[in-house]
Amino acid sequence: MRKKVTIMGAGNVGASCAQRIAERGYADVVLVDIIEGLPQGKALDMLQSGPVVSSDARLTGTNSYEETADSDIAVITSGVPRKPGMSRDDLLLTNMEIIKGVTENVVRYSPNCIIIVVTNPLDAMAQLALHVSRFPRNRVIGMSGILDTTRFRTFLAMELDVSVEDVYAVVLGGHGDTMVPIPRLATVGGIPITELLPPQVIERIVERTIKGGGEIVSLLKAGSAYYAPAAAVAQMVDSIILDKKRILPCAAYLEGEYGIEGLFVGVPVKLGARGIEQIMEIRLTPEEDAALKKSAEAVRELIQVMKLG
């Protein structure tokens, strides 16, 4: 019997997530949206690609939550995307009400599921989902670090003209302008990038990574990234559904790890069938630690605006 994954939101991110997961074949997918016909049409279109991509996964589009019942994973992509000139922080109050309602329905119909939050501002929305759901912290996870890290890896591979498969990197912190790429832990085929690139080039790549989402927003003019975010979600779903126990950078609720208490912050975690099975603590330099704490404070400011009590 296949697992069941529900995607909340049938926009570009949600639909791309649904497609990537359905093509894997190990889970049936339910696509939910408030716009009548949108999730139904997209799900039917994807379903008809099954014979070509050799996937027997069933896809269902719906405007109600009844068909999401007993999902193993609920991916929340619902919300308003960033527009040119809009920071992730600007999205806070608008998306707060949307995520609150979505999370309530997730809990009502799938009380034992694992929640993956994609909606921006991501760390704050993950904290809201945890607050509303009252799930244990291992079952509410934010997709952020994988996306930030894959941008870092992509830019390093482009600069060095090497395969992306051989590039590994770590990005910590909130999903926004205060994220903390860690160049000293980035490697190419096991070789530290600090031995392959001069400091000024590394700094340029770090800066482009931090502004990676905004770069895409400015190019698209309307909307934001969705192919890479969907790929990041699919990697998380793989690790959970297949119990792969991969070490992946995700937004996790910290309770003292890295000296941070009561906040979602991007850190490396072990993802398995129970969700976050371990938070991996890296020994940081004083400068890295200070940058991570600064990033956490930026997240805390958003939480204070939401007034979660």
pLDDT tens for each residue of 199-256: 999 999 999 999 999 999 899 988 889 999 999 999 999 999 999 999 999 999 999 9
CATH number at residue 289: 3.90.110.10
Name the domain boundary from 112, 142, 172.
Answer: 142
pLDDT at residue 221 in the model:
86
Examine the residue annotation and report whether 131 is marked as an active-site residue of this protein.
Answer: no
Cα dist from 52 to 2, 43, 47, 213, 276, whole Å: 19, 15, 10, 32, 34
3-state secondary structure (DSSP) of residue 120: coil
Same-domain check for residues 296 and 170: yes
pLDDT greater than 70 at residue 309: no
Backbone φ and ψ for 14, nearest 5 degrees, come out as -60, -45
CATH number at residue 8: 3.40.50.720
Task: Specify burial of residue 96 (Cβ count, 10 A radius: 0-12, 13-18, 19+).
Answer: buried
Between 121 and 253, the higher pLDDT residue: 253
Among 24-28, 110-114, 214-218, 276-280, the range scoring the smallest mean pLDDT is 214-218
Same-domain check for residues 92 and 202: no
Same-domain check for residues 102 and 151: no
* pTM for this prediction: 0.95
Same-domain check for residues 173 and 116: no
Name the domain boundary from 142, 164, 185.
Answer: 142
pLDDT at residue 195 in the model:
97
Other CB atoms within 10 Å distance of the CB of residue 251: 30
pLDDT at residue 144 in the model:
87
Same-domain check for residues 73 and 44: yes
Tokens at residue 74, please? Answer: 């609920």
Q: pLDDT-derived band of residue 111, with 50, 70 and 90 as boundaries? A: very high
Q: pLDDT-derived band of residue 261, with 50, 70 and 90 as boundaries? A: very high
Residue 178, C-beta contacts closer than 8 angstroms, at least 6 positions apart? 291, 294, 295, 298
- Active-site residue, selected from the candidate residues 153, 175, 270, 300: 175
Same-domain check for residues 130 and 180: no
Average pLDDT over every residue of 281-299: 96
Average pLDDT over every residue of 116-125: 94
Q: pLDDT-derived band of residue 262, with 50, 70 and 90 as boundaries? A: very high
Residue pLDDT, tens place only, 44-102: 999 999 999 999 999 999 999 999 999 999 999 998 876 666 665 677 888 999 999 99
How many domains does one find in the chain?
Answer: 2
Whole domain around residue 109: which residue ranges? 3-142
Same-domain check for residues 158 and 248: yes
Mean pLDDT of the chain: 95
Query: Cα(45)–Cα(48) distance, rounded to whole angstroms?
Result: 5
Name the domain boundary from 110, 127, 142.
Answer: 142
Same-domain check for residues 125 and 150: no
